Structure 1
């Protein structure tokens, strides 16, 4: 058995979870926040039998879209205080997925 942990954009969460549920995967949804842009995202966890891992990963991949976003990064240099910084283009979205071995699984 494996534990899939997928960090996805909030905008994709409902679609990803809906498709996983349709394929009979039970999902736990957590609201999380990224460190770089400090934007909200969703972390989903699902326990999956080994032979079903690829199917779950395919659903996550097909329903997690990459996007381009503009961000203004805060200056850490005191001399630049007060200057207007031009926004930079940042690619966000898609999914960051971890697949972990599960030693034991209990459902009560």
Structure 2
């Protein structure tokens, strides 16, 4: 048995949740915040059999897309002189962790 933690951007969380449920996987959703851009994410907790892990990852990959976004970046030019200019960064997609589960009980 495996526990999958999948961190997905808020833009894709509804599609990912619907697709996982439609594929027959039990999903728990947690509202989370990313550290880099402080943007909203959804962290999915999915318990599944070892042989279904690739199926879960395929569903998540199909419904979570990477995007680019312009964000302000601060740079220092000498003593006390700062300028802000936009930088393009990649956001979205999914970050997935798979862990072993020694015991599972549903009460």
Encode CA deviations 1:61-100: one digit per residue, 9 max, x unaligned. 11110000111135689823xx441110000111000010
Q: Distance in 2 between matches of 1:32 and 1:40?
A: 6
Encode CA deviations 1:25-48: one digit per residue, 9 max, x unaligned. 011101111111111111101101
TM-score, structure 2 length as denominator? Answer: 0.92
CA contact (8 A) 2:75 2:83 kept: no
Indicate the SS of the match to 1:61: helix
Deviation of the 1:51 alpha carbon: 1.1
Q: Distance in 2 between matches of 1:76 and 1:38?
A: 22
Instruction: Select the structure that is richer in strand.
Output: 2
Indicate the SS of the match to 1:38: coil
Partner of 1:72: 72
Partner of 1:25: 25
**Which runs of 5 or more residues in structure 2 are unaligned?**
none
Count of aligned pairs: 106
Aligned CA-pair RMSD: 1.7
TM-score, structure 1 length as denominator? Answer: 0.91
Q: Distance in 1 between matches of 2:67 and 2:89?
A: 8
Q: Distance in 2 between matches of 1:69 and 1:55?
A: 29
